[in-house]
DNA sequence: TGCCATGTTAAACT
DNA sequence: GAGTTTAACATGGC
């Protein structure tokens, strides 16, 4: 479930089911004050990067699905011990499993920078470029996973973006030529929308060109698999096609 | 069966 | 105190 586009899909499914409904009861093993949620009306659902945000009049429930989080509607599909939050909304029951649940007080516009979310209509290329300028020594594989710069980008998007723009994951931000930096920022958003489209069509894996792949579709040479950067996440790349600037 | 992974945080190290 | 490493969470695919 975890990358930004997957969260957006969940939001789109849940929003019509939840918006405007009153929470009749809240339970689960999330370490939050459940009582605070009862009798509150759900004002709106949003998402930022990998966060699903359920806003009530005075606070927001923040769901982060981590690696294995799931949800279900009306039917409890998992064991109690992984049930973090159950919301009873009239006849509807919404379940969240193995996720991180937090309550955020007040106005979330003060917490979240919508311009930093690659899928948001307010996404700002200029702002991303500015943030990147401030981290010249960071490897691009780490920068793409930095949620402060590219909220919503995960490891799959990282690998596919770098493959598309022919850039080596271990290239440091400061040595990327300006035009290549532009394509990086562009493609982080662009690929995220392709991911969204393919995920909705259940054809995401089919479209992977780098992630978990063995052969470069461009030059037919074997792809390398390496745990790169400070984040030490799997990188799949072609050392022949993907340039490492120095 | 055992390992690994679309992720993040916090504790435990140096 | 800063920076780095490890553990924890818990499930499903191969």
pLDDT digits (tens, 9 = 90+) for A47-58: 999 999 999 999
φ, ψ for residue A187 (rounded to 5)? -75, -25
Q: What is the DSSP-derived secondary structure letter of residue A137? A: T
- Nearest-CA residue to the C1' of B8? A66
Q: What is the DSSP-derived secondary structure letter of residue A150? A: S
Average pLDDT over residues A161-166: 95
Q: Identify the band that residue A169 occupies on the pLDDT scale cut at 50, 70 and 90.
A: very high
Is residue A151 within 8 Å of residue A116, measured between CB atoms? Answer: yes
- Whether CB of A44 is under 7 Å from strand C: the answer is no
Which bases of strand C have any atom within 7 Å of the beta carbon of a protein residue? 4-5, 9-12
Which bases of strand B have any atom within 7 Å of the beta carbon of a protein residue? 4-9
pLDDT computed for residue A79 by the predictor: 77
CB under 8 Å to A170, separation ≥6 — which residues?
A139, A140, A141, A228, A229, A244
* Nearest nt by C1' to A99 Cα: C9
Helical packing angle, A178-200 and A125-133, nearest 10°: 130
- Whether CB of A97 is under 7 Å from strand C: the answer is yes
**Rounded Cα distance, A40 and A49, in Å:** 25
Identify the helix (H) or strand (E) that includes residue A103: strand A100-105
- Lowest-confidence region among A71-85, A143-157, A172-186, A213-227: A71-85
**Rounded Cα distance, A118 and A116, in Å:** 6
A22, pLDDT greater than 90: yes
CA of A232 to C1' of B3 (A): 17
CA of A37 to C1' of B6 (A): 30
- Whether CB of A231 is under 7 Å from strand C: the answer is no
Is pTM beyond 0.85? Reply is yes
- Nearest-CA residue to the C1' of C4? A230
């Amino acid at each position: 479930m975890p990358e930004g586009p997957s969260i957006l899909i969940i939001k789109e499914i849940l929003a019509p089911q939840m918006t405007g409904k009153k929470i009749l009861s809240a339970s689960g093993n999330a370490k939050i004050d459940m009582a605070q949620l009862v009798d509150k009306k759900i004002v709106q659902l949003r998402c930022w990067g990998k966060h699903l945000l359920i806003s009530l009049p005075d606070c927001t429930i923040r769901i982060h699905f981590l690696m294995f989080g799931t949800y279900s509607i009306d039917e409890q599909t998992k064991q109690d011990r992984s049930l973090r939050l159950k919301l009873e909304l009239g006849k509807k029951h919404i379940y969240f499993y193995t996720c991180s649940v937090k309550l955020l007080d007040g106005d979330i516009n003060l917490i979240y920078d919508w311009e930093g979310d690659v899928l948001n209509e307010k996404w700002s290329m200029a702002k991303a470029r500015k943030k990147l300028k401030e981290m010249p020594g960071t490897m691009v594989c780490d920068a793409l996973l930095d949620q402060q710069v590219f909220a919503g980008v995960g490891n799959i998007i990282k690998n596919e973006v770098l493959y598309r723009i022919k850039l080596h994951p271990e290239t440091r931000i400061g040595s990327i030529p300006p035009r290549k930096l532009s394509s990086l920022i562009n493609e982080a958003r662009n690929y995220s929308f392709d991911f969204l489209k393919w995920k909705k069509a259940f054809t995401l894996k089919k479209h992977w060109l780098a992630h978990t792949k063995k052969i470069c579709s461009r030059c037919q040479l074997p792809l390398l698999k390496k745990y790169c950067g400070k984040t030490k996440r799997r990188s799949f790349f072609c050392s022949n096609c993907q340039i490492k600037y120095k």
